[in-house]
Amino acid sequence: AQSVAQPEDQVNVAEGNPLTVKCTYSVSGNPYLFWYVQYPNRGLQFLLKYITGDNLVKGSYGFEAEFNKSQTSFHLKKPSALVSDSALYFCAARRNTGFQKLVFGTGTRLLVSP
Amino acid sequence: DAGVIQSPRHEVTEMGQEVTLRCKPISGHDYLFWYRQTMMRGLELLIYFNNNVPIDDSGMPEDRFSAKMPNASFSTLKIQPSEPRDSAVYFCASSPPPGQGAYEQYFGPGTRLTVT
């Protein structure tokens, strides 16, 4: 069965510091990987994806993520955090063959302090 | 495009009443998903459609829940009768055909349901 783990319920970082939100996955075969962000009282918003090619993918709002096949990880990163980045972040994965349902992690709350 | 549209945004109803949630997917998207989000259970996939046909409803919690997609631009999720434990935020999402190379799902703003 496919699964996604986000080991941290919450990540705290000071504004201007780099941030990392961790994600590991278990998918048979090669994965498609995604990050979504959810602001209060809003739907999930797509941030970035890894489909194939370069292991470092760049997305919206200065976020990037690195696909590491050997560690089955897809950590979300940003070089300099903003207070406005404070939100709930979801990692998701699916197999890259046919159509597969997305499996979501439990979410990580990011709090950026001024 | 306006994105995925859901209505109503908030719904408060009494136990035992019928509740109908509505969704309009992004034009051209042929996959439609219904999710439920609660603090206790996180984000759960309830059902998804492809070309208006239900493909997997294994996440529907029980027979009180039903979903339809009568055409490519409209879907409903119905709860009858509603119970307090159905209180949650219900999201609709859509995605384009895989051949278009997008793969990601686009979410609506959600309907916050409160059953008293």
Tens digit of pLDDT at every position of chain A (114 positions): 789 999 999 999 999 999 999 999 998 888 999 999 999 888 999 999 999 889 999 999 999 999 999 999 999 999 999 999 999 999 999 887 767 688 999 999 999 999
Q: Which residues contact B50 (CB under 8 A, 6 or more apart)?
A: A99, B30, B31
Q: What 3-state DSSP class applies to B38?
A: strand
Contact in structure between B1 and B67 (CB atoms under 8 Å)? no
Using alpha carbons, select from A4, A79, A69, A1 the residue that is nearest to residue A35. A4
Structure tokens at B25: 């997917």
Helix (H) or strand (E) holding A64: strand A64-68
Of B48, B103, B108, which has the smallest distance from its Cβ to A43's Cβ?
B108
B12 to chain A, any CB pair closer than 8 A? The answer is no
What are the pLDDT digits (tens) for A61-90? 999 999 999 999 999 999 999 999 999 999
Using alpha carbons, select from A97, A103, A101 the residue that is nearest to residue A52. A97
Q: What 3-state DSSP class applies to B51?
A: coil
Q: What is the pLDDT of residue A96?
A: 78
Residue B12 has pLDDT above 80, yes or no: yes
Residue where the block lists tokens 């990163």: A77
Structure tokens at A17: 């510091």
B59 to chain A, any CB pair closer than 8 A? The answer is no
Helix (H), strand (E) counts: chain B: 0, 11
- With residues binned 3-state (H G I as helix, E B as strand, rest as coil), the percentages for chain B, rounded to 5, are 5, 55, 40
Residues of chain B with Cβ-Cβ distance to A45 below 8 Å are 107
With vertex at residue B21, the alpha carbon angle to CA B40 and CA A3, rounded to the nearest 5 degrees, is 40
For B97, which DSSP code? -
Q: What 3-state DSSP class applies to B6?
A: strand
Structure tokens at A55: 């292991």
Residue where the block lists tokens 């406005």: A84
Question: How close does chain B come to A107, measured CA to CA in Å?
Answer: 8
Contact in structure between B98 and B90 (CB atoms under 8 Å)? no
Please name the amino acid found at residue A35: W
Please name the amino acid found at residue A108: T
Residues of chain A with Cβ-Cβ distance to B104 below 8 Å are 34, 46, 49
